[in-house]
């Protein structure tokens, strides 16, 4: 049996293991170890390769970005950052038709810049934005879809965990990947906003118009809400029985005033604006500091992660993070970091096995020898990634797909930064794709009986279509991803 055949069988075995429920890290290590034994004929050589990979694979200075950015996101998730952002952004868009849904999109986009994880954003905003949209008469499916659709911005807007994994596996600059995601992330948020406004004018009842809800107090079904309105415990108590302690901080938000303010009156407007600005300035400042510092060359991505974690630590106690949440943040970071570094070691060992077998070189020669355009090959890769996204989590897809696809991309002369953005968008589309898209199931787990997973998938369909159009635009105009990194 040839080495290439052994590698192909190892790929088939890997997918069988993963689809059977075996942890992706263990599946990668077992299949790569067995394949290397068959290729080299020696267990000692195969085990020595695994030990060398474990020692050298994650000791580089650049890997510090993983725990530090995760810690930054944990601090922000365990305080009232998401509520403050939602209140601030809603104040801005309160007069637009579908303003609450649009506010959800932009609040999720900004929150993504301090968490970088789509599933986390979906879970947090399920408890913050969804009850508010229900309260103001929004269609259940539109409310669920706007939360699910906007959560994918977490992997596109820096700092993104998928960008870090892609950069580590391909040796592409993580800082360049971060900068490359800015314009596509903003563009996707704009396209979502336009889509929501179109729905609002086409089906006004879906954004609370014509209903007897409090939304009629404002234009377009998006009355301004005070910071007090976004208190998770209070909103969820009104919406149903889910406690805010499941996802976000336990402290109630400080009331804007002693009583409910008339948000349409001058005094209410002033109080709401003041609370929104004061609540969002620290978070916006942290985002600008981290991303602006990388773009301006003030510090490297690794240094930026340290600055971001320190900044989040300084902000979080003033936004409701108590000692319990403080220690939980470190616990969450330790668990996530250990899992990610283990996955990276496993993936790098698997990549070395594939390279040793000669399969990667064989696949590269086959692809470059095809009498088709580069766009057709990219389209094939995208289709594979979307299908994988419907059954696997995003990190696993990156770890499985990049070792096989990236060498072929280099042989085609494709810009690796642009392909990284295309790859991430394709993976994120998969997270919303039935039957096993991760984001709808995460939201269903958080919301419980208040939201059926079928409603989330159906509500996500318009956003899924927007993402498909967006992916075509990114493929057709590579400059959207490469222009900003080219300025570095």
Phi/psi zone of residue 449: left (φ > 0), alpha (ψ -120 to 50 degrees), beta?
Answer: alpha
> Residue 329 and residue 322: Cα distance in Å, rounded?
11
Q: 26 is in which domain, residue-wise?
A: 1-56+342-357
- pLDDT for res 254: 34
Same domain, 86 and 38: no
- Whether 8 and 127 share a structural domain: no
Based on the structure, what is the number of domains in the chain?
Answer: 2
Q: Are residues 110 and 228 in the same domain?
A: yes
pLDDT of residue 57: 65
Cβ-count burial 212-245 (b if 16+ within 10 Å, e if not): ebebeebebbbbbbbbbbbbbbbbbeebeebebe
Residue 372 located in a structural domain: no
User: Closest by alpha carbon to 126, among 212, 25, 247?
Assistant: 247
Residue 115, domain member (yes or no): yes
pLDDT value at residue 470: 94
> What pLDDT score does 55 carry?
76
> pLDDT value at position 416?
92
Q: List the chain pLDDT tens, one digit each, 488 residues.
A: 788 888 888 888 887 887 777 777 788 888 888 888 888 888 888 888 888 877 776 676 667 777 887 888 788 777 777 777 777 777 777 778 888 888 888 888 777 666 666 666 777 777 778 887 888 888 888 888 888 888 888 778 877 788 888 888 888 888 888 889 889 988 999 999 999 999 888 888 887 776 544 444 333 444 444 334 433 333 333 333 333 333 333 333 333 333 333 344 444 445 455 656 666 778 778 878 887 887 777 888 788 888 888 888 888 888 788 888 889 889 888 887 887 788 778 877 887 887 788 877 777 777 777 777 778 888 888 888 887 776 677 777 887 788 888 888 888 888 999 999 999 898 888 878 776 677 787 787 777 777 788 888 888 899 999 999 999 999 989 999 999 888 76
Say whether both 148 and 163 belong to one domain: yes
The verdict on 118 and 240 lying in the same domain is yes
Final residue in a domain of this structure, among 323, 357, 391: 357
Q: Taking the CB of residue 166, how many other CB atoms lie within 10 A of it? A: 25
233 and 171 in one domain?
yes
Same domain, 85 and 158: yes
Whole-number pLDDT of residue 391: 67
Evaluate whether residue 393 is within a structural domain: no
Q: Are residues 51 and 72 in the same domain?
A: no
d(CA 438, CA 456): 11
| Per-residue tokens: 285 | 């400042």
What pLDDT was estimated at residue 356? 81
120 with 143, same domain? yes
Give per-residue pLDDT as tens, 322-332.
888 889 889 88
Judge if 40 and 83 occupy the same domain.
no
User: Do 189 and 294 belong to one domain?
Assistant: yes
* Domain termination site, one of 334, 368, 399: 334
- Same domain? For 176 and 229 the reply is yes
State the sign of the Cα–Cα–Cα–Cα dihedral 474, 458, 105, 100: positive
- Residue 80 inside a domain? The answer is yes
């Amino acid at each position: 049996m040839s080495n290439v055949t052994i590698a192909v069988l190892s790929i088939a075995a890997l997918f069988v293991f993963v689809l059977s429920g075996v942890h992706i890290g263990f599946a990668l290590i077992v299949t790569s170890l067995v394949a290397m034994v068959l290729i080299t004929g020696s267990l000692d050589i195969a085990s020595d390769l695994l030990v060398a990979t474990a020692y050298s694979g994650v000791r580089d200075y650049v890997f510090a970005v993983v725990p530090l950015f995760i810690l930054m996101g944990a601090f922000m998730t365990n305080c009232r950052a998401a509520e403050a952002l939602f209140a601030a952004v809603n104040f801005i868009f309160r007069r637009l038709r579908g303003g609450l849904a649009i506010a959800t999109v932009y609040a999720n986009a900004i929150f993504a810049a301090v968490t970088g994880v789509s599933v986390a954003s979906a879970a947090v905003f399920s408890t913050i934005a969804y009850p508010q949209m229900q309260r103001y008469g929004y269609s259940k499916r539109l409310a669920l879809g706007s939360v699910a659709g906007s959560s994918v911005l977490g992997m596109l807007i820096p700092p993104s965990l998928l960008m870090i994994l892609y950069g580590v596996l391909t040796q592409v600059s993580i800082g360049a990947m971060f900068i490359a995601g800015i314009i596509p992330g903003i563009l996707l948020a704009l396209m979502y906003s336009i889509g929501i406004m179109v729905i609002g004018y086409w089906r006004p009842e879906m954004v609370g118009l014509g209903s007897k809800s409090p939304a009629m107090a404002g234009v377009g079904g998006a009355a301004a809400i005070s910071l007090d309105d976004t208190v998770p415990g209070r909103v969820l108590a009104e919406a149903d029985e889910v406690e805010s302690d499941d996802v976000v901080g336990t402290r109630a938000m400080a009331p804007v005033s002693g009583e409910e303010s008339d948000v349409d009156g001058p005094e209410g407007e002033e109080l709401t604006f003041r609370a929104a600005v004061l609540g969002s300035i620290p978070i916006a400042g942290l985002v600008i500091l981290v991303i602006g510092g990388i773009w301006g060359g003030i510090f490297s991505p690794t240094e930026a992660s340290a600055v971001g974690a320190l900044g989040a630590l300084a902000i979080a106690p003033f936004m409701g993070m108590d000692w319990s949440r403080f220690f939980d943040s470190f616990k969450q970071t330790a668990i996530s970091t250990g899992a990610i570094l283990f996955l990276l070691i496993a993936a790098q060992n698997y990549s070395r096995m594939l390279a040793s077998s000669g399969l990667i070189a064989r696949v590269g020669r086959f692809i470059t020898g095809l009498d088709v355009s580069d766009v057709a090959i990219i389209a094939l890769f995208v289709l594979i990634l979307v299908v994988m996204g419907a059954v696997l989590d995003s990190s696993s897809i990156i770890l499985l797909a990049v070792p096989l696809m990236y060498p072929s991309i280099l042989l085609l002369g494709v810009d690796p930064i642009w392909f990284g953005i295309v790859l991430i968008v394709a993976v994120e589309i998969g997270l919303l794709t039935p039957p096993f898209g991760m984001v709808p199931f995460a939201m269903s787990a958080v919301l419980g009986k208040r939201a059926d997973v079928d409603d989330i998938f159906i509500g996500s369909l318009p956003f899924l279509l927007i993402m498909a159009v967006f992916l075509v635009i990114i493929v057709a105009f590579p400059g959207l991803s490469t222009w900003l990194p080219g300025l570095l």
